[in-house]
Structure 1
Amino acid sequence: MPELRQDPVSQRWVIIATERAKRPSDFKPPHQEKNGSTGCPFCPGHEKETPPEVLAFRVAGTAPDTPGWRVRVVPNKFAALAPGDDVAIENRGLYRTMSGTGAHEVIIEGPDHNTFFPDMAPDHAVQVFKAWRQRYLQLSRDKKLQYIQLFKNHGRTAGASLEHPHSQLIATPLVPVTVSQEMDRFKSYWQEQESCLLCDVVEAELEAGARVTGFNSEFLAFCPFASRFPMETWIVPRRHQTGFGDCDDVQLKQLGAIVQETLGRLKKAAGDPPFNLVLHTAPLHQDDVIYHWHLELLPRLAIVAGFEWGTGIYINPTPPEIAAQSLNEIKLDQEALA
């Protein structure tokens, strides 16, 4: 019969609808025609169509805002938040406003319009995460900013308006409610157990094994116990670290490898579905924060409808144990050649 499960981090409830359980292959999205690289502002030769780059890893001797780059970061041309001198807050009776001070950047992950992240050379994938870290650390120096959200949208249903492989960064002048709630949960768990909640989750998932989809010396990938979506996967550092900015070069190499493996398995198992890959990290400029940063991969394999919007409770027709089994059955090219 169906089962209600509670996520230990967010304390959100999920319905695992076992009576209509499906394998992830049952959700393969219909084929969508690609627009191609013609006129793409992220392709080499179109650098002048974006704002000037704020970071680029490029071939020695090539000039900024010209071809010759491997990873390029530019301000978003249609920014949700923009740099400003101050953060103004105004109370209007019941209502409050805040000036839209922040940052919104695009990380263009490579010059090839059609190279999906898991198909990149491993060193190139690591460079993408180095760009994430470098921009994270640079913006974290700004005392006006309180949180940095890094994320990747893949596919139109997941919010990607351009096909060219890219991710984004939005820095906000406030701490999002979701993050505050997670921090409160980490703090209460620490006070009760004198240990980190996510460190204990990692240990429990390794011991159980049924939901693990990949691991290396630095990271664990698993379908969470209370998955909201079929094939939802969390990637968690095995070291206890509060914020993404603490990640060193050794970890970034392993992070690139496990993200490539995870996305490669998802692509083969579910037919390249749309997805969101989102970073959960600690707020900036706060001392003694109890948190454990991680990535959440959210495939768009099920429709969020009225019940979910009305209650905040998700219905997932694929138990995470079945999802993990499906992902583990996938043989990647590098495994076949090993």
Structure 2
Amino acid sequence: MPELRRDPIIGRWVIIATERGKIQSDFSKSAEELPPINSSCPFCPGNENKTPSEILSFREPGTKRNEKGWWVRVIPNKYPVLGVEGNLNRRGEGMFDFMDGIGAHEVVIETAKHNAAFCDLENKSVEEIIWAWRDRMLDLKKDMRFEYVLIFKNHGMAAGASLVHPHSQIIAMPTVPVRVKQELEGGRNYFEYKERCVFCDIIREEIEANVRIVSENEDFICITPFASRFPFETCILPKTHSSAFEDLQKHEVANLALILRDING
């Protein structure tokens, strides 16, 4: 029987209808065999001249920027949703508010291997990806125009990925998304009422119930939220009371890599 579940952070009600998960799909179960290097892929080694100049790379000693020899590479998105140059130019027209599309949009090429799957990468490789995310976030935070940094990954054509080569994206925006504002406000209200962190309480509750835990290690826990918005939604929470991704310590990066590989397997 379907249920209505209330999100404890922002108070939104969500419909949970598990029977719908049994509906058959025509999603292909087979994947085309891919070569380790694709000469036509702009993200593959040897094609560095087909991308914008790199912002950051982790590479072999003695190799030069924008050449082969890297294992993680960050570049500006060739087709950005926001442009990094200019001012916000906030303005109004009647009741409507506008601002120029200022921000940063970057691509993190996660591996030199064209045919690699995220879950099949060595843990050290995923750690390097996380360090790249962290380094770019720290740098983007210095720009006073930006208020929020989003890291995301589209997996497969249906999710919006246009290139097969493993990559993730970073967007820095001049505004904070409504849902994030709601979560912050919900967390603040919870603390004012109970004098406790709602996320710490969720972790304690989920560990005790042991019903929705997907993966867990010393530093992180991954759960399916009690009020999930869609099938297969997961949430990774740090067991240490911390609010800043960029404050990750070395041992935490290793364990975050482990849990990311686990849930993507």
TM-score range, shorter chain: over 0.9
CA shift in 2, pair 1:211/1:33, >3 Å = closer
Seen in structure 2, the aligned counterparts of structure 1 residues 201 and 259 have a Cα distance that, compared at 3 Å, is same
1:69 is matched by which residue type in structure 2?
W
Task: Name the CA distance, whole Å, in 1 between partners of 2:177 and 2:234.
Answer: 22
Change (3 A) 1:45 1:229: same
One-letter code aligned to 1:258: I
Counterpart for residue 14 of structure 1:
14
Match for residue 124 of structure 2? 123
Task: Please list, as runs of the form range in 1=range in 2, the aligned pairs for 1:257-336 lying within 5 A after superposition.
Answer: 257-264=258-265
How far off is 1:150 after superposition?
Answer: 0.6
1:268-315 Cα deviation digits (max 9, x unpaired): xxxxxxxxxxxxxxxxxxxxxxxxxxxxxxxxxxxxxxxxxxxxxxxx
Partner of 2:74: 73
Per the alignment, residue 235 of structure 1 pairs with: 236
Are 1:187 and 2:185 matched, yes or no?
Answer: no
* Whole-angstrom CA distance in 1 between matches of 2:152 and 2:141: 16
In structure 1, the residue corresponding to 2:225 is in which secondary structure? coil
3-state DSSP class of the match of 1:257? helix
1:325 alignment partner in structure 2: none
Which piece of structure 1 moves more, 168-177 or 33-42?
33-42
For the residues of structure 2 that align with 1:121 and 1:155, how far apart are their CA atoms?
21
> Could you say which residue in structure 1 is the equivalent of 2:111?
110
Show CA shifts across 1:120-177 (max 9, x none): 1110110000000000001101111111011111011111111110000000111111
The residue matched to 1:192 in structure 2 has which SS? helix
Shift in Å at residue 248 of structure 1?
Answer: 1.5
Read off the aligned partner of 1:260 and give its amino acid letter: R
**Alignment-derived partner of residue 166 in structure 1:** 167
Cα distance between partner residues in 2 of 1:23 and 1:194: 42
With over 3 angstroms needed to count, the CA separation of the structure-2 counterparts of 1:14 and 1:192, relative to structure 1, is same
Segments of 5+ residues of structure 2 without an aligned counterpart are none
CA distance in 1, matches of 2:25, 2:71: 34
- The alignment of Structure 1 onto Structure 2 pairs a total of residues equal to 262
Q: Kindly state the Cα deviation for residue 33 of structure 1 after the two structures are TM-superposed.
A: 5.5
Q: Give a deviation string over 1:164-221, Cα, whole Å, max 9, x none.
A: 1000000011111111111111111111011111111111100100111111111001
User: Alpha carbons of 1:27 and 1:11: their partners in 2 closer, same or farther (altered >3 Å)?
Assistant: farther
Structure 1 letter corresponding to 2:68: P
Give CA deviations for 1:55-114 in whole Å, capped at 9, x if unaligned: 000011111111110100000000111112422101111111111111000000000011
User: Structure 1 length as normaliser, TM-score?
Assistant: 0.74
Q: Give the whole-Å Cα distance in 2 for the aligned partners of 1:81 and 1:22.
A: 36
How many angstroms apart in 1 are the aligned matches of 2:25 and 2:221?
25
Give the match for residue 101 of structure 1.
102
- TM-score with structure 2 setting the length: 0.94
Q: Tell me how large the CA RMSD over aligned residues is.
A: 1.8
Q: Determine the C-alpha separation between the residues in 2 that align with 1:17 and 1:261.
A: 26
Whole-angstrom CA distance in 2 between matches of 1:161 and 1:127: 23
Partner of 1:29: 27
CA distance in 1, matches of 2:234, 2:111: 24
Alpha-carbon offset, residue 3 of structure 1: 1.2
- 1:158 corresponds to which letter in structure 2? A
- Matched to 1:105, the amino acid is E
Larger RCO (CA under 8 A, 6+ residues apart): 1
Which amino acid in structure 1 is aligned with residue 13 of structure 2?
W
User: Residue 56 in 1 paired to residue 57 in 2?
Assistant: yes
Q: Equivalent pairs: percent with the same residue? A: 43
TM-aligned CA distance change 1:35 to 1:11, over 3 Å: farther
Question: Which residue type is aligned with residue 182 of structure 2?
Answer: Q
What is the aligned partner in structure 1 of residue 137 from structure 2? Answer: 136
CA contact under 8 A between 2:148 and 2:173: conserved in structure 1?
yes
